[in-house]
Structure 1
Amino acid sequence: MQFGMQKISEDKIRQHAGILLKFEDTKEARSGVGQITTFNQLGFDGINQKPDGWYFPYDINDTAIVLETKAYEPNSNLNSNLTQLEEYIKITQRKYNQVVGILYNGNEAIIYKNDKFYREDNELFSKDYYLKLFTQSSIDKPKIYSCTKSINDNLHTNFGINNLKHRMIFTACALVADRKGANLNGLKGRDFATLQGEIIKTLENSYSEQKALNLKLDIIKEQFNLISFNYTKNQKAIDSFIDDVIAISGYIKAESWNGEDVMGIFFNEFTRYKGKSEAGQVFTPDHITSLMYRIANVNYKDNVLDACCGSGAFLVKSMNNMINEVGGNFNENAVRQIQNERLFGIEFDKELFALACANMLIHKDGKTNLTHDDARSEAACEWIKSKKITKVLMNPPYENKFGCLPIVKNVLDNVESGAICAFLLPSNKLEVGKKQVLKWLKKHSLLKIIKLPKEIFTRVKGAAETSIFIFKAHEPQGNKEIFGCYIKEDGLETVKNQGRHDLKGKWQELEDFWVDVIYKQSGDESCQWIKPNESLQYKMPEPKFEITEQDFKKVVLDYMLFENGIDKKEFEKTILESVLYGSDINLDEDEIKIKV
């Protein structure tokens, strides 16, 4: 609920916040709102300041929440009140290691995770949503990799499916069948034709209701039927495939699933065998989809577009985060609205489109808002315009022959006014196309450039270094400079035959740090401001010039030899002879005299 444009007192805001957050004492925590209770009374000795709201668990290892509220006035700047919130967070951190800080004025909420900015919202949710911010996924990623590798090897070796995307499509359709009620386990011991028939029957039933709205859903069946098999008589291989599909499906159903852990792993593991697809596209790493969602400040009220959606990674990430924001799957009406009205994707490649549809079907949503089209076309422009897009998350194909810059321009021109658009592109892409990009900036703004670690796409042969470019649509650049920063490392490590993984759990802390830096536009030595007319890429700092004492002496000696007309090689020969045969060398301050 937002209060609109009228002025609202802080007392009313505080009371309303307490209701939304469900702040009340329980057996697990002391909780409430009001400005009469001091930190001292809440267990923080000697601290007489009074928080507006609090949730302080009796177990100090649990997550605490501290609330600061402000009266609402139209056109007021909530950011100017962050100092008080940051102070309350520091106080709370004296006892708790995990603290969520909230600043709220009825129309806006700024959320901190410990001392780092987390996100902005235009409303508050129940405390349960904020308590989950520190919850780590417990999904067994090595097991998922093991299952996925087993599936890929099985389909390739035992069934003879040589086309990589066909192996992906067949597996994705099997996952749809399992998620939509097919009894795959009951098909063990049955022949391949029976398995294939059950998958296609369940697949057709799964989108029958949406088919009237999106005839292009038939492309899934079309692509499934194009898959050719060299051999289908290996019963052990059939049963092993079924076991692996059921195992992965179980992880998707798990409450600890957070959008990227299963499907992201699934698709990236398959594409590991082919660094770059025929469509000139690379699949976005899981942790980068998470970062882009946050720095574009996407929330459940946004209409999110990926106009080159590939397998649908950005859309699945957005869907999962948005569902969490409305309180999870128990909020059926809000979840249904997200699934059917908030996620939009375009994909030109038929095989990838089939994968995207299957991916969304696996999650029981969104498939009616996917279209098979060319993002460079007029039809795609009209489609985008009709969807009233407010946020864009994209990793378009990088090569010019696939229309990288025309796609970006089409998206910017046809989304809503003020839409925030985040594109993952080669770091020099806009600089190379500077002439045309500067024309865009007469209509749109380039707000931020975040250069990513060099290793992001190391598995992809010939892959460029990449950056995230954040635009604001339909707001001219004018004299505004562009904020830039450089995420030098992401904490991931390379595992043989498995790509790069967050083995030591470093990324979440790094993500929180960089979201904070990018929001505040300060806080790291890599931060810089870029004049658009001078550059459209992050400017790597010049390496520091350093000279050792030995280097300095060598330069001085070379200069003295030059000034006195002495041949350097002859001098070196004389030095060697002096060492070997005991010759004398005399140097005076006016000239160099050599005696042999």
Structure 2
Amino acid sequence: MLRYNIIETIGKEFLTSNTETGEYSYVYAAGGKTQLEKKVGHPVSHFKLDIRFEYDDIVVLVETKQHFILNDEKQLKDYLEEEKALHPTKKVICILANTTNDKIKVWKSFIDNEHLLINETVLDKMSHYVKLFKINKSNDRETVLKNTYSLNELLHKKDIDEHLRSQFVGTCLLYIKDIIKKKGIVLITKEFVNSLKEIWILMTPKGIRGAIEGVLSDLLDGSDNKAKKIELLQKNILENQKVRALKTDDWTEILETIILKIYRYIDTDSSEGQDILNMFFIAFNKYTGKADKNQAFTPDHITEFMCRITGVDRTKRILDATCGSGSFLVQAMVKELADCRRGKTEDEALSLMKKVKEEHIYGIEIEEKAYGLSTTNMLIHGDGNSNIKFGNCFYCKQFIIKANPDIILMNPPYNAKPIGIPEKYKIDWGKSKNGKEDPTKGLVFVHFLSDVIKEINDKREKDGLPHKTVKMAVLLPVATAIGNKTIIQSQKVSMLKNNTLEAVFTLPNDIFYPGASASACCMVFTLGEPHIKADGTVKETFFGYYKEDGFKKKKNLGRVEQFDENGNSKWKAIENEWLKLFRNHKVVDGLSATAEVSGKDEWLCEAYMKTDYSTLCQEDFQQTLNNYLAYLIREGKIYES
């Protein structure tokens, strides 16, 4: 990038130079070399910086090279030292910039690996660099997780029902976020919170509930089905008997706790902050009781894994046709928003982010409370709620066609009532069509979405357009992969007529703990591409035996991420290994396999992989014997004496 372009981009009105060549001399600024060396405390060899910008207490130092190398960082570090010696109160951004291309390297305050801003890959304007010093909250994952538990205990003490707590906290968070934004608060302090308490203590409980409703109403302006969303908010949360029973003191204590113990430890404008916010929302669901023991809240790390295997980025339109609390949609939106920042200026990123929120996130949910929860969840993460539809996905075909998804992520209900499923999908169900539960264990939802994509492609073919393929990652019970029941096998055979089974991952047994007890697998399809190709060949399916994810069960906390002796996440290393095996279709004994399969075959890794005997030990044999004995007792074949 040429010097002229650098100055125009950051802002020539902020340029400060003190030599005829337009450079900035620290010797000149100090009044001589002797004076500069006295200020620094040692002799100086570099003192002429290429470009310097200044706005209030923010300074941007830019050193240009044709192709900067590691040694050039030492030179820039010298300039930073001189800057701090002459202007100790200034906050400094340091930039190395190539003149032969657009490559840059940016540091904040210090020049070392810890202060390197890895996401700053394009030159931006001065206002952007000013904002880097005005983050109003810090990200603290551990503190948020710890305080989530104490917040749940507080709500228990206030007699807020378990099933209400997640959305109740979500609406309170939105109210707090709106106040802070309107007041333009940069730093959340105890003094600021005390000023809010002085206002709240003068309000009636009805006034506080009305203020929260007003904020939600404003946030939902322009949203599809706004009236329904407000109605559900009132009915399920604000007009709930236990919520209405809260006194002004109760409201004040709850809101103060959320600000001081949760919100101030999350910078929602950063990618990390969005991840922590998502972790908080999912963690809070773990503490709430489940009305249905089969409810399965998908763990955050699994939603992230499924986003990665399907290639979620800022160009993709995402659909979850059974979105529940919205965890898949939030994870996808967080991933897309982070990608919007990659290689873009702040203005470019904001434009892309607006498009993601308005046009890339689509969800459908039939259960009222879950629908309200998903709406709140999306709002907390910066909107994206406008395309969340209330209804039965089987009767929302036009909505799905309009969504025109590139990726489908979902965890359909495994025990849906057949009465809500169209007759065309129950022709061969026999008596099960009038039963209590879906005999396909969720596969019928996948089949339906496959049919919608086929309909989209039939129209595209008629219009002379190329076929559209859609990546789908779906969580289903392992019973669907085994497929030893006629109805399930029929669904599998039907699925492979127009779609390719790319992969199946067997997941940990307790993946939904402490919610549903179902053992699950993740199936990955390419919808719109037949499993058996036109020339008769079949692509091998990848199977992963992904039983160990580095999480352990803990009372009151669910499954908790584990770390090694160096503080590194075990899950992150495992996730990267899972992805590497899948992307390269690599076979590892005891962990993965590949095979050509049909709809009549078993779709689990256990049927195709070789055992890795090198890892077996005496404890494994003992565990097998214990499991077999437990099975015999459970089946009544032997009796414990």
* Same fold per superposition (TM over 0.5): yes
Instruction: Report the equivalent of 2:459.
Output: none
Tell me, in whole angstroms, the C-alpha distance in 1 between the residues paired with 2:586 and 2:203: 62
Provide runs of 4+ in structure 1 moved above 6 Å. Answer: 25-33, 37-43, 52-60, 62-65, 544-548
CA drift of 1:207 comes to 1.2
Match of 2:578 among 514, 518, 522: 514
Contact 1:445 1:472 in 2 (8 A): yes
Report the counterpart of residue 546 of structure 2 in structure 1: 487
Contact kept, 8 Å, 1:30 with 1:56, in 2: the verdict is no
Give the corresponding residue for 2:205: 192
- 2:434 paired with 1:396: no
Q: 1:304 to 1:233 in 2, by over 3 A?
A: closer
Selected match of 2:242 from 229, 232, 252: 229
State the distance in 2 between where 1:424 and 1:394 align: 7
Alignment TM-score, normalising by the size of structure 2: 0.61
Alpha-carbon separation, structure 2, partners of 1:353 and 1:327: 29
Amino acid in the other structure paired with 1:199: I
Equivalent position amino acid for 1:335 in 2: M
Match for residue 405 of structure 1 among 443, 448, 452: 443
> For residue 257 of structure 1, what is the aligned residue in structure 2?
272
Describe the shift of the 1:127–1:451 C-alpha distance in structure 2 as closer, same or farther (beyond 3 A): farther
Distance 1:514 1:438, change over 3 A: same
Query: Alpha-carbon deviations, 1:112-155, whole Å to 9, x = none?
Result: xxxxxxxxxxxx98599xxxxxxxx9732343234333333333
Secondary structure of 2:242's counterpart equals coil
SS at 2:333 equivalent: helix
Q: 1:231 to 1:195 in 2, by over 3 A?
A: closer
Q: Structure 1 residues 188 and 309 mapped into 2: Cα distance closer, same or farther (>3 Å)?
A: farther
Post-superposition Cα deviations, 1:397-428, rounded to whole Å, max 9, x if no partner, equal 22254651221112222246210000012223
The alpha-carbon deviation at position 346 of structure 1 amounts to 0.6
Question: Which position in structure 2 is the counterpart of 1:301?
Answer: 315
> Equivalents in 2 of 1:400, 1:211: separation in Å?
26
Could you tell me whether the CA contact under 8 Å between 1:418 and 1:475 is conserved in 2? Answer: yes
SS in structure 1 opposite 2:274?
coil
* Alignment of 1:460 onto 2:515: yes
Q: CA RMSD in A?
A: 4.1
Aligned pairs for 1:173-212 (under 5 A) are 173-181=171-179, 185=197, 186-188=199-201, 190-210=203-223
For the residues of structure 1 that align with 2:234 and 2:451, how far apart are their CA atoms?
34
* Contact persistence 2:104–2:121 (CA under 8 A): no
Alignment partners' CA distance in 1, 2:169 and 2:208:
12
One-letter amino acid of the structure 2 residue matched with residue 436 of structure 1: Q
CA contact (8 A) 1:189 1:239 kept: no
What is the TM-score of this pair, normalised by structure 1?
0.65
Q: Is the 8 A contact 1:258 1:320 kept in 2?
A: no
Larger Rg: 1 or 2? 1
In the TM superposition, 1:263-342 aligns within 5 A as 263-274=278-289, 276-278=290-292, 280-327=294-341, 330=347, 331-342=349-360
CA distance in 2, matches of 1:539, 1:61: 44
CA distance, structure 2, for counterparts of residue 283 and residue 230 of structure 1:
24
Cα contact 2:268–2:277 (8 A) shared by 1: no
Q: Structure 2 matches for 1:143-158, cutoff 5 A?
A: 143-158=143-158
- Residue 516 of structure 1 aligns with an amino acid whose one-letter code is K
2:627 is matched with none
How many angstroms apart in 2 are the aligned matches of 1:32 and 1:165? 61
Check conservation: 2:554, 2:560, Cα contact below 8 A. yes
Deviation at 1:386, TM superposition (A): 1.8
The alpha-carbon distance between structure 1 residues 298 and 270, as it changes in their structure 2 partners (threshold 3 A), is closer
Question: Post-superposition shift, 1:238?
Answer: 2.6
Matched with 1:244 is 257
Moved more, 231-240 or 447-456: 231-240
Which residue number in structure 2 is paired with residue 571 of structure 1? none
Offset, 1:347: 0.7
Q: Which residue of 447, 464, 474 corresponds with 2:502?
A: 447
CA displacement at 1:477 relative to structure 2? 0.6
What is the rounded CA distance, in whole Å, between the counterparts of 1:341 and 1:487 in structure 2? 34
Structure 1: unaligned runs, 5 residues or longer: 1-18, 44-51, 66-97, 101-123, 129-136, 549-596
Rounded Cα–Cα distance in structure 2 between residues aligned with 1:459 and 1:498: 9
Look up the equivalent residue of 1:413 and give its one-letter code: D
* TM-aligned CA deviation for residue 302 of structure 1: 0.7
Aligned to 2:478: 427
Q: Which amino acid aligns with 1:488?
A: K
Q: CA deviation at 1:364?
A: 3.1
The Cα shift of 1:29 comes to 9.4
Identity score, percent: 24
Q: Deviations over 1:450-481 (max 9, x none)?
A: 222233223235x1222211001111111223
Superposed, 1:504-583 pairs within 5 Å as 504=563, 505-522=569-586, 524-525=588-589, 526-533=591-598, 534-539=601-606, 541=609
State the aligned residue count: 450
Q: CA deviation at 1:391?
A: 0.4
Equivalent of residue 436 in structure 1, options 485, 491, 515? 491
Structure 2 CA distance for aligned equivalents of residues 261 and 242 of structure 1? 19
Superposition deviation, residue 537 in structure 1: 2.3
